[in-house]
Structure 1
Amino acid sequence: MAYDEHLADRIRQWLKTKNTTYLEKKMMGGLCFMVDDKMCVGVVKNDLMTRVNPEDYETLLQQPGAKAMNFTGRTMKGFVMVEPQGIDMDDELDTWIQHCLDFNPLAKSSKKKK
């Protein structure tokens, strides 16, 4: 198992409950949920990957289980990884996903390959 299927199911259920249209893409060794053709939230191994407003980045890193996203030796500002202990409770997961959806309209879409 490359990523936590149970966490992916929790995200799917949350997005469906909120009537959010999304597309799933396997990437970065995990699963990403795209909203409006933009990376929004995902699962990498057992962690929640979140795309949040860079203005809130430092504050969100102070939350339980939160850490900077660093795949290439370089920290990606605006992306926060949340370890399982930070999303055990549904209300914790709800809060993180809501941060992602709140930022989504402001996020830039990645360049499409031709």
Structure 2
Amino acid sequence: MAYDKELADRVRELIAGEPGVTEKRMFGGLAFLINGNMSVTISRQGGLLVRMDPERADALVDDADVTPMVMRGRELDGWLRVSAAVVDADEQLAEWVTRGVGFARLLPAK
């Protein structure tokens, strides 16, 4: 399954004008990078992958629509999988994108 192009357009609108933003196709999805650091990705499985402070991520997990990201059987600290249902509303999408972009801005540029 290809990533959701409409969701990608919505994310583009939210980060338009952000300095240091680039897009890169990765793992069948579309990643938005801030100064070379991944911030949010449109997942080919639907919804988003959001990078954030690992200490804050656990509090947002609900085991239904927001889950830890798992790659090769291992949970990745600071990465959450957010279902498409959660980001259906523009306000919710903006909250998640803001989290990802905000955290990526704290990281050293690559």
Matched-pair contact (CA < 8 Å) for 1:63–1:86 = no
Answer 1 or 2: higher relative contact order, Cα 8 Å, separation at least 6: 2
1:68 aligned residue: 68
TM-score, length-scaled by structure 1? 0.86
- Which has a greater percent of strand? 2
Gaps of 5+ in 2: none
Matches within 5 A, 1:1-114: 2-16=2-16, 19-21=17-19, 22-45=21-44, 46-62=46-62, 65-107=65-107
Per-residue CA deviation, residues 61-91 of structure 1 (Å, 9 max, x unaligned), is 1387211111210000100010111111000
Shift of 1:104: 1.4
Name stretches of at least 5 consecutive residues in structure 1 with no aligned partner: none
Judge conservation of contact 1:64–1:85 (CA < 8 Å) in 2.
no
Alpha-carbon separation, structure 2, partners of 1:13 and 1:63 = 29
Q: Percent identity?
A: 31
Tell me how many residue pairs correspond in the alignment. 108
Instruction: Compute the TM-score of the two structures, normalised by the length of structure 2.
Output: 0.89
